[in-house]
């Protein structure tokens, strides 16, 4: 079976999974309740949530730029913004919520060269984002466990925390890296992926301050994300505290890494299931998820407009010649 056929089948499988999950969650939702909730929403609070969503995107862009500066990657801010928003556009239909990362990395590397550093900046940005996600979820659960006393919430929090320690150990500690390397030797693609991430992390040697600053910045981004969902819930006239959203928002974000198309289906089921733990009805929870996805679509369409109007030939490329071939990474 060729690689092209495998990719096609993989896309079809993810599309079918997203469609199936959406059909399943929609099957037990009372649409009249959802529509009524949306019609009665507080527009002012929704505009505030929309502003927070855009502010989060700007913060993520700044975090990526900080990593590029730390790696001595000289990328014009205009070109960086272009491919950042194009990546958001591609996230709308590419597999998982990180499909656009590959697009923006390829586009920027063709524009500025230094392909290894471009890919490293994207990987490091995602790793710091994951670290912030885990930290906020774990601390919020520790502070609010009395509000949400449910093993089904504790288990993913613990699982993400353990996973972060394992991944962090593999990437930052040589001994742990070689230890786990022996176990994944039978899986060449996985081993190669871990090797590449390890090499990317090693580029940050001697720059721990920048790394920790970006992780702290990632925690702030997660708090802003929770605040956005909190405002949406208040706009839907739900008298719920902020703390549960500090737990739920990172968990739903982590769930969108699972195979799907743009996180569709996974996101909706996550919010419907988790918000039920604090007494929010299914129709309202689905409305909250759909509103947040609408914000994602709007920012993604900004990237679509940039893609159509600025990228020659409608491909991820630039006017400058491509960077020389590099044998280390894809």
CB 323: neighbour CB atoms within 10 A? 15
Instruction: Indicate the SS3 state at residue 71.
Output: coil
Banded pLDDT at 149 (limits 50, 70, 90) = low
- Segment 59-88 shows an average pLDDT of 91
Asked if 51 and 304 count as a contact pair (C-beta separation under 8 A), the reply is no
**Exposed / middle / buried, residue 44 (Cβ in 10 Å: 0-12, 13-18, 19+):** exposed
Banded pLDDT at 95 (limits 50, 70, 90) = low
* Cα–Cα distance, 90 to 83 (Å, whole number): 10
CA-based R_g, the chain, Å? 20
Candidate ranges 16-20, 55-59, 267-271; pick with highest mean pLDDT: 55-59
pLDDT over threshold 60, residue 320: no
Which one has a higher pLDDT value, 106 or 94?
106
Residues 6+ apart with CB under 8 A from 225: 52, 56, 249, 250, 253
Instruction: Indicate the pTM of the whole model.
Output: 0.81
Asked if 315 and 90 count as a contact pair (C-beta separation under 8 A), the reply is no
Nearest to 144 by CA among 251, 234, 293, 220: 251
Asked if 291 and 39 count as a contact pair (C-beta separation under 8 A), the reply is no
Asked if 269 and 251 count as a contact pair (C-beta separation under 8 A), the reply is no
- Segment 244-248 shows an average pLDDT of 94
Banded pLDDT at 313 (limits 50, 70, 90) = low
pLDDT score at 252: 93
The sign of the dihedral angle between the CA atoms of 213, 218, 223, 228 is positive
User: Left (φ > 0), alpha (ψ -120 to 50) or beta: where does 30 sit?
Assistant: beta
- Segment 229-239 shows an average pLDDT of 95
- Segment 75-101 shows an average pLDDT of 83
Give the pair of three-digit tokens for residue 184.
């994944």
Give the pair of three-digit tokens for residue 232.
């949406």
Residues 6+ apart with CB under 8 A from 78: none
pLDDT score at 29: 65
The Cα-based distances of 259 to 130, 188, 231, 266 in angstroms read 17, 21, 28, 9
Lowest mean pLDDT among 52-61, 273-282, 313-322: 313-322
* pLDDT digits 0-9 by tens, 265-299: 788 889 999 999 888 988 899 889 989 999 998 99
pLDDT score at 199: 73
Asked if 230 and 123 count as a contact pair (C-beta separation under 8 A), the reply is no
Banded pLDDT at 324 (limits 50, 70, 90) = very low
């Amino acid at each position: 079976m060729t690689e092209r056929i495998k990719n096609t089948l993989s896309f079809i499988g993810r599309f079918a999974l997203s469609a199936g999950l959406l059909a399943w969650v929609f099957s037990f939702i009372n649409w009249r309740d959802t529509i009524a909730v949306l019609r009665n929403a507080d527009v002012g609070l929704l505009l505030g949530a929309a502003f927070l969503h855009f502010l989060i995107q700007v913060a993520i862009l700044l975090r990526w730029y900080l990593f590029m500066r730390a790696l001595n990657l000289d990328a014009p801010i205009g070109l960086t913004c272009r491919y950042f928003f194009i990546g958001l556009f591609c996230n709308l239909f590419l597999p998982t919520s990180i499909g656009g990362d590959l697009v923006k990395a390829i586009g920027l590397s063709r524009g500025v060269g230094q392909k290894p550093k471009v890919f490293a900046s994207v990987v490091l940005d995602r790793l710091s984002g994951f670290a912030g996600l885990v930290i906020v979820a774990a601390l919020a659960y520790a502070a609010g466990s009395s509000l949400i006393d449910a093993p089904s919430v504790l288990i993913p929090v613990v699982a993400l925390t353990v996973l972060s320690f394992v991944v962090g150990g593999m990437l930052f500690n040589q001994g742990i890296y070689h230890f786990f390397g022996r176990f994944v030797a039978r899986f060449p693609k996985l081993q190669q992926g871990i090797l590449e991430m390890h090499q990317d992390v090693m580029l940050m040697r001697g720059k721990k301050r920048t790394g920790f600053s970006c992780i702290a910045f990632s925690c702030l981004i997660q708090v802003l994300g929770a605040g956005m969902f909190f405002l949406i819930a208040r706009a839907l006239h739900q008298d719920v505290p902020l703390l549960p959203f500090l737990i739920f928002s990172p968990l739903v974000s982590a769930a969108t890494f699972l195979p799907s198309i743009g996180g569709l289906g996974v996101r909706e089921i996550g919010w419907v299931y988790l918000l039920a733990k604090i007494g929010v009805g299914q129709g309202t929870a689905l409305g909250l998820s759909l509103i947040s996805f609408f914000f994602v679509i709007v920012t993604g369409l900004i990237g679509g407009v940039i893609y159509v109007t600025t990228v020659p030939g409608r491909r991820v490329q630039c006017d400058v010649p491509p960077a020389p071939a590099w044998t280390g990474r894809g």
